[in-house]
Chain A
């Protein structure tokens, strides 16, 4: 789902913008903090310098008084003062000693409070100034800048909070805007699979919000219209040929037939005319098969589909084809593992499996075996017809479904090359799977997977 969302541009953009905005906000708050800190430090430094100036210019007596006064005045306890003799002894003030790390150079500086925690019990950060007095003593003025730290922390908290909220809103907004697109893409995916499976009447669905996707879908749909039209034309042309030629062929056959009937029994024309009759019958059979396929293909409704028990159909088929198999010295075995039903048109399924068996008989050499089996898997029933014939090479398994296709090895076997196309057409009509692979004996195994490949709707 997330991977799917990530493919959607609007989702990625929303998240990206959310991230960028969050960064910008963090940057802005950082800048505010930096500016505030600088200003604050300048202020503090200013105070420190002016205090140092006042103290350093005062007489020693005044200095003591001044410091005592300042300490008394500092109700917030943020100011620290100290005057130390050259040997480091504290003379006056509220700092017991010179804080460690303080450079006595008359310049304000930040002071680490570690190691001097006893001096600044409450402070987190301190700015201090050390200055040598004219009499050789050292003056230290320091000021707690805890306020700065507080500002920093609240800014930091604000940063995380705001960044989090922005990112969350970004992701939510992205999901909100992208979900229809994800759904749309799923629908397109479904439709495309159906089209790839040969249902050229399908079109890619149009959404309501995704303009780019719709534009693309419309282009593809226009392409499909054209493809369908062209395929329809090709099919119609071949169907029409088949249909239009059937009538004159039927009449041709009728006149040959009548001529044969009117011949004297001893007539020498019998052989030639009977041959003509056989050939005409062959032609008619092919045209009939061709028309039958197009008839099945054009059958879009499913009126004939109802739950049908498959076992009786297979039993009947094996009974029907057994003599034909026996004639070719081929054993026809029926293996019923389960007795499932399938939602199908029983008559068409009979025709399909009949064609599979017929095909298997044609290609199985004498002494061979054909197995017709029925079993049940999780999704539904599986009908398999396997033979011990030469099999179909993997690269030809798809081609054999084409009309009139004959595998190279099959050129001298009688038949129209339409049998498997017919099975395929019937499988498609039911939306069943039709799979050709290799049987255990190395021959062909053709399976009908009797459940709907696509979820309806």
Chain B
């Protein structure tokens, strides 16, 4: 997240017909050191995507020529598994389900905070490069036993409750990445509405306390105005 990152994080294809939204996405992603291409209609977007050399695609659900759902469908039919972040003005849960069922990997409703969009793109990018889920996950001295659902700092059991474990697992799986409250709420609790500012904050506070009690240095950082991040940015 620091501005000093100069290496290109990845190549992103933005399929979006609305110019101002597209500019916003492109600017935000460029600020996060992504290389960005833009297509302003479905057929051009599909053509670019079919070349397959993108790491993540952001796709507007409502395009002038082809429905966003059909674009994803066509991509998946061609066995192109580039992660797709669907962006839509349709916030209905059913629409989300349809978007994900068609092959989208994540779903964001308009209007969105651009840092939230960037955070989601980064998580999608990481998910793709992540190795096969192992039974153990170790980040900066904290170990997750993914079979017994336990967490340790060194040899010390943190004694996490199920929810705390899930929260820590989500943070650690995406360590070094900014995770917004909404993303955390979606991943840990599985619901898609605005949980409010304090709700996630107190859960994070509880988790921080347990880590601190085990003698662990402060690993969960608050990213001001955005969310949280486990460990240091890479």
Which residues of A are in contact with B by a Cβ distance under 8 Å? 246-247, 249-251, 253-254, 257-258, 260-262, 274, 277, 281, 284-285, 288-289, 291-292, 295, 299, 303-304, 316, 319-321, 323-324, 326-327, 345, 347, 350-351, 358
Q: How far is the CB of B100 from chain A (nearest CB, A)?
A: 14
Determine if B115 is an interface residue (Cβ-Cβ < 8 Å): yes
Chain A residues whose CB sits within 8 angstroms of the CB of B92 once the complex forms = 295, 299
Q: Give Cα A323 to B226, complex, Å.
A: 21
Say yes or no: A323-B193 contact (C-beta < 8 A), given A254-B113, A257-B225: no
Q: A281-B225, A295-B91 are in contact. Are A351 and B115 (CB under 8 A)?
A: no
- Give Cα distance in the complex from A308 to B205, angstroms: 32
Q: Does B101 contact A (CB under 8 A)?
A: no
Flag if A319 contacts B163 (CB, 8 Å): yes
Measured between C-beta atoms, what is the minimum distance from A338 to chain B in Å? 24
**Interchain CB contact (< 8 A) of A323 among B28, B94, B192, B206:** B206
Partner pick for B189 among A260, A261, A316, CB 8 A cutoff:
A316
> Which residue of chain B has its CB nearest to the CB of A262?
B3
* Smallest CB separation, B27 vs chain A (Å): 9
Bound Cα distance A246, B194 (Å): 15
Q: Across the interface, do B199 and A321 meet the contact criterion of CB distance under 8 Å?
A: yes
Q: Which residues of A contact B112 (CB under 8 A)?
A: 250
Q: Which of B24, B114, B199 contacts A324 (CB 8 A)?
A: B199
Are A260 and B225 neighbours in the complex by a CB distance under 8 Å?
Answer: yes
Question: Does the CB pair B113–A253 fall under 8 Å?
Answer: yes
Q: Tell whether, in the assembled complex, residue A324 and residue B94 are in contact, meaning their CB atoms are under 8 Å apart.
A: no
Answer whether A285 and B196 are a contact pair too, CB < 8 Å, given A246-B111, A254-B28.
yes
- In the assembled complex, 30 residue pairs joining A and B whose CB atoms fall closer than 8 Å, in A order, are A247-B110, A251-B24, A253-B113, A254-B28, A254-B113, A254-B115, A257-B115, A258-B31, A260-B225, A277-B225, A284-B113, A288-B194, A289-B194, A291-B91, A292-B91, A295-B92, A299-B92, A304-B93, A316-B189, A319-B161, A319-B163, A320-B189, A320-B199, A320-B203, A323-B203, A323-B206, A324-B199, A345-B93, A347-B191, A347-B193
CA distance A202 to B161 in the complex (A): 49
A327 closest partner in B (C-beta): B202
Q: Told that A262-B3, A321-B199 touch, could you supply 17 new A-B pairs with CB distance under 8 A?
A: A246-B111, A250-B111, A254-B24, A257-B114, A257-B226, A258-B31, A260-B225, A289-B194, A295-B91, A304-B93, A319-B161, A320-B203, A323-B205, A327-B205, A347-B192, A350-B191, A358-B196
- Is A281 a contact partner of B197 (Cβ separation < 8 A)? yes
Q: Which of A251, A274, A319 contacts B224 (CB 8 A)?
A: A274
Instruction: Assess whether B7 is interfacial by the CB under 8 Å rule.
Output: no
Q: What's the Cα separation between A258 and B163 when bound, in Å? A: 33
CB distance from B212 to the nearest CB of A (A): 15
B225 with A274: CB separation less than 8 A: yes
Roughly how many angstroms separate A7 CA and B197 CA in the complex, as a whole number?
58
Residues of B within 8 A of A351 (CB): 191, 193
Chain B residues in 8 Å Cβ range of A251: 24
The residues of A that contact B3 with a CB separation of less than 8 Å are 261-262
- Nearest B residue (CB) for A358: B196
* Interface of A, helix, strand, loop or mixed by DSSP: helix
Distance of A253 Cα from B189 Cα, bound (Å): 27
Q: How far is the CA of A267 from the CA of B114 in the complex (A)?
A: 23
- Does B198 belong to the interface (CB within 8 Å)? yes
Question: Which residues on B are within 8 Å of A, measured CB to CB?
Answer: 3, 24, 28, 31, 91-94, 110-115, 161, 163, 189, 191-194, 196-199, 202-203, 205-206, 224-226
Q: A285 near B114 (CB under 8 angstroms)? A: no
Complex Cα distance, B191 from A320, in Å, reads 11
- Contact A285 B194, beta carbon cutoff 8 Å: yes
Tell me if A247 and B224 are in contact (CB < 8 A).
no
Bound Cα distance from A129 to B157, whole angstroms: 133
> Residue on B with the closest CB to A324?
B202
* CB proximity of B48 to chain A, nearest CB, Å: 26
Residues of chain B with a CB closer than 8 A to A260's CB: 224-225
- C-alpha gap A319/B202 in the complex (Å): 12
**Set of chain B residues within 8 Å of A253, measured between Cβ atoms:** 113
Please measure, in the bound complex, the distance between the C-alpha atom of A288 and the C-alpha atom of B189, giving whole angstroms: 20
- Determine the distance from Cα of A285 to Cα of B163 in the docked complex, in whole angstroms: 25
> Which residues of the other chain, A, contact B203 by a CB distance below 8 angstroms?
320, 323
Q: Which residue of B lies closest to A285 (CB)?
A: B194
The closest CB in chain A to the CB of B199 belongs to A324
Closest to B1 in A: A261
3 smallest beta-carbon distances between A and B, as pairs: A323-B202, A250-B111, A247-B111
Complex CA distance for A145 and B31, rounded to whole angstroms: 126
Bound-state Cα–Cα, A249 to B114, Å? 12
- Residue of A249, A274, A320, A350 with most partner-chain B CB within 10 A: A320
A280 CA to B134 CA, complexed, in Å: 41
A258 to B32, CA, bound (A): 11
Which residues from chain A contact B94 at a C-beta distance below 8 Å? 303-304
Q: Which residues of A lie under 8 Å from residue B206 when comparing CB positions?
A: 323
Residues of the B chain whose Cβ atoms lie less than 8 Å from the Cβ of A358: 196, 199
Q: Chain B contacts of A250 at CB under 8 A?
A: 111-114
Query: Which of B111, B161, B193, B197 gathers most chain A CB within 10 Å?
Result: B111
Provide the bound-state CA to CA distance between A250 and B203, in Å.
26
Contacts of B192 in A (CB 8 A): 347
Given the complex, which residues of A lie within 8 Å of B198, measured CB to CB?
A: 324, 327
The winner among B91, B93, B225 for most chain A CB atoms within 10 A is B225
Q: Please tell me if the beta carbons of A347 and B115 are within 8 angstroms of each other in the complex.
A: no
- Shortest Cβ gap from B125 to chain A (Å): 20
A304 partner residues in chain B, CB cutoff 8 A: 93-94
In the complex, what residues of B have CB within 8 A of residue A292's CB? Answer: 91, 193-194
B157 to chain A, nearest CB (A): 20
Q: Report the minimum CB–CB distance from B234 to chain A (whole Å).
A: 18
The chain B residue sitting closest to A419, CB to CB, is B196
Q: CA of A35 to CA of B194 in the docked complex: distance in angstroms?
A: 94
> Which of chain B's residues have a CB closer than 8 A to the CB of A261?
3
Most chain A CB within a 10 A radius of its CB, from B112, B197, B224? B224
Q: Which residue of B lies closest to A270 (CB)?
A: B224
Bound Cα distance A324, B195 (Å): 12
Are A254 and B114 interface neighbours, CB within 8 A? Answer: yes
